[in-house]
Each structure stands twice: as C-alpha cells, then as structure tokens.
Amino acid sequence: MHLMSTIKKTMEEEAEAIWMRFIDGDRSVFTFIYNSNVDALFSYGMKLNSNKSFVKDCIQDVFLDIYEHRKQISRPKNIKFYLFKALKHTMFRELKKERKKSGLPEQGNLSFFTEYNIETITINKEVIKHQKKLVTKIIKELTPKQQEILYLRFMKGFNYIEISEITGINHNSVRKQVYRSIKNIRKNLLLNNITNSGIYSFLLVAFPD
C-alpha cells in the first residue's frame, strides 16, 4: 500500500511539473501533452459522436482553450482526466449550439456507443471466434451509459470519482453500474457455457470487482 501511495504521489508530482512548464509557455511540453493524449481523446470522442470532423474540431478547441487560458486553469493532478472531461464538456456545448441553430430539441446528454471490438482487449489468442463474438454481443447489450463507464474504468483507467465527474453521474451510481454490468456479463457467459480460460482471464483482468 505504501508503494502504491508513493507511485501515485510521484505521478502527481510529475504531472504538476509538466503543467508548470506548460503554464510558463514551453511549447515542447504543450506538444508533448497533445501527442500523448490526442489518440485517446479521439477514440473516446468517436464513441460519443461518429462525426470525425466534429470530434477533431472539438479536440482542437480543447487544446486551443487550455493554451489560451493556461495561466487561469488550476493545476490538474491527472492531465488525461482533465482533458477527457474538457472534451465531453466541449462536445456537449457544441452540439447544444447546433441543435439551437437548427431548432431541434435539446438532448440531456451525449449517448455513448461503440463497436466494442474485442480485439482491442488483451485476450488469449486461443479464444475461438464465436466466443469472442459472443462476448462482444453481451457487452453491446449493455446500456450506452454502462458501456461508457466500463470503457472509462477499464480501458482508460479512470477511478470512480473521475468517471463520476466526466459523465455527470453520482459516484455511488457509477460503482453500482460497474457491479451490475460485470454481473450481467458473467451471467451471460455462464448461461452460454463458456468456461474457456481466455474468456475468464479477460473478465478478471479487464473487469475486476
């Protein structure tokens, strides 16, 4: 436990040091922050809206905004978390503007969707094709919000509090959604008589309790 606390503290200190250099106008640091996060942001953005141009524009808006207002922004402990939250806020704001211009009714939230390509998760190569398809099907049967929470938790490594802030969902509700989703996935696997160790490895590694 002490080791984990030390690692977390070191990561926070490194993030703070990077951010301080960024605030001071170090363009190489800004480029580093951009290159280190743009692919993950694009992947997440495309799961909220399938319009590539729109997602790219929103990402550019996020980075332009943080650069222009860098001296006013409080120092984030987790830069990736800050950028994910900023991107979702920007996408929601821009979609709201577009709907207003078009006279369309406003929607309460962005709807997360995904093809959930199971190949993006490390699974034993021996898992046969129909089993992988079944796992994919089970995950896609979860609600968009459940898929988004699992994606942020297990694919991007955010904790429950960070996910709560990104999605705007109560912290306890996020925990319950994760628990229910995992329970549903495991139930479906058992009902389909899947006992292959590769599938269980996937569940244990990607979706621990």
Asked if residue 58 has pLDDT above 60, the reply is yes
Under 8 Å between Cβ of 87 and 45? yes
Token couple for 93: 């704001």
Chain segment 160-193, per-residue pLDDT in tens: 999 999 999 998 999 998 888 877 777 776 666 5
17 occurs within a structural domain: yes
Better-scored residue on pLDDT, 116 or 162: 162
- For residue 200, the model assigns a pLDDT of 43
Model confidence band, residue 138 (pLDDT cutoffs 50, 70, 90):
confident
* Co-location of 170 and 122 in the same domain: yes
The count of domains in the chain is: 2
Cβ neighbours for 142, distance < 8 A, ≥ 6 positions apart: 150, 181, 184, 185
* Single residue among 102, 127, 142 that ends a domain in this structure: 102
- For residue 146, the model assigns a pLDDT of 87
* Co-location of 6 and 96 in the same domain: yes
Better-scored residue on pLDDT, 83 or 135: 83
DSSP conformation letters of 17-43? HHHHHHHTT-HHHHHHHHHHHHHHHHH
Give the distance from CA 90 to its chain's centroid. 15
- For residue 116, the model assigns a pLDDT of 46
Helix axes 27-48, 52-68, angle to 10 degrees: 140
Q: Against a cut of 0.75, is the pTM above it?
A: no
* Co-location of 152 and 68 in the same domain: no
Under 8 Å between Cβ of 78 and 110? no
Model confidence band, residue 47 (pLDDT cutoffs 50, 70, 90):
confident
The domain in which residue 84 lies consists of 2-102
* Single residue among 102, 129, 147 that ends a domain in this structure: 102
Summarize the confidence of residues 138-154 as an average pLDDT.
Answer: 84
Average pLDDT for the chain: 76
CATH code of residue 65: 1.10.1740.10
Look up residue 173 and give its DSSP letter: H
108 occurs within a structural domain: no
Which residue from 150, 143, 88, 84 is spatially nearest to 118, judged by alpha carbons?
Answer: 150
* Co-location of 130 and 98 in the same domain: no
Which residue from 133, 177, 170, 132 is spatially nearest to 153, judged by alpha carbons?
Answer: 177
